[in-house]
Amino acid sequence: MHWRQFQELQKVAEVGDRFISYVEAGEGPVVVLLHGAPTWGYLFHRLLPILERRYRVLVPDLPGYGFSDRSDRFSRCAHRQAERLCAFLQSIGVERASFIGHDLGAAIALRLAVYHPERVERLALVDAAAYDCWPPPFLHELGHPSAFKRWTPAAISKRLAKSLAPGFVKPEPDLLAGLLAPYSTEIGALSLVRDCAALDCSETMELVPFLPTLQAPSLVLWGEQDVLQPLDAGRRLAWESARSRLSVLPGAGHFSVLEQPAEAAAPLTQFLETPLQALLGRSPASPAAGPL
Q: Give the range of 19-27, 84-92, 108-116, 164-172 binding another protein by CB under 8 A.
A: 19-27
CA distance 285 to 72: 42
| Of 157 and 244, CB closest to another protein | 157
Task: Tell me which H or E stretch contains 246.
Answer: strand 244-249
Per CB under 8 A, 186 contacts another protein: yes
Closest separation between CB of residue 159 and another protein, Å? Answer: 15
| Of 117 and 153, CB closest to another protein | 153
Q: What is the number of alpha carbons within 13 Å of residue 288 lying toward its C-beta? A: 16
Among 90, 91, 184, 213, binds another protein (CB under 8 A): 184
Closest separation between CB of residue 22 and another protein, Å? Answer: 8
Closest separation between CB of residue 290 and another protein, Å? Answer: 44
Among 90, 91, 152, 213, binds another protein (CB under 8 A): 152
How would you label 84-104 residue by residue, b for 16+ Cβ within 10 Å and e otherwise? bbbebbeeeeeeebbbbbbbb
CA distance 30 to 22: 14
Check: CB of residue 85 under 8 Å from CB of residue 105.
no
Per CB under 8 A, 149 contacts another protein: yes
CA distance 147 to 125: 30
Closest separation between CB of residue 8 and another protein, Å? Answer: 4
Among 36, 38, 101, 188, binds another protein (CB under 8 A): 188
Q: Give the range of 11-19, 84-92, 197-205, 268-276 binding another protein by CB under 8 A.
A: 11-19
How far separated are the first and last CA of the chain, in Å rounded? 40
Beta-carbon contacts of 158 under 8 Å, excluding residues fewer than 6 positions away, are none
Check: CB of residue 148 under 8 Å from CB of residue 187.
no
Residue numbers 55-84 binding another protein by CB under 8 A: 67, 69-73
Closest separation between CB of residue 123 and another protein, Å? Answer: 27
What 49-53 contacts at long range (C-beta under 8 Å, 24+ apart), as own/partner pairs, is: 50/261, 50/262, 50/265, 50/269, 51/26, 51/265, 51/268, 51/269, 52/25, 52/26, 53/26
Per CB under 8 A, 174 contacts another protein: no
CA distance 62 to 170: 27
Count residues binding another protein (CB under 8 A). 29
Per CB under 8 A, 12 contacts another protein: yes
| Of 182 and 217, CB closest to another protein | 182
Per CB under 8 A, 10 contacts another protein: yes
Per CB under 8 A, 8 contacts another protein: yes
| Contact set with another protein (CB under 8 A) | 4, 7-12, 17, 19, 21-22, 67, 69-73, 148-149, 152-154, 184-188, 190-191
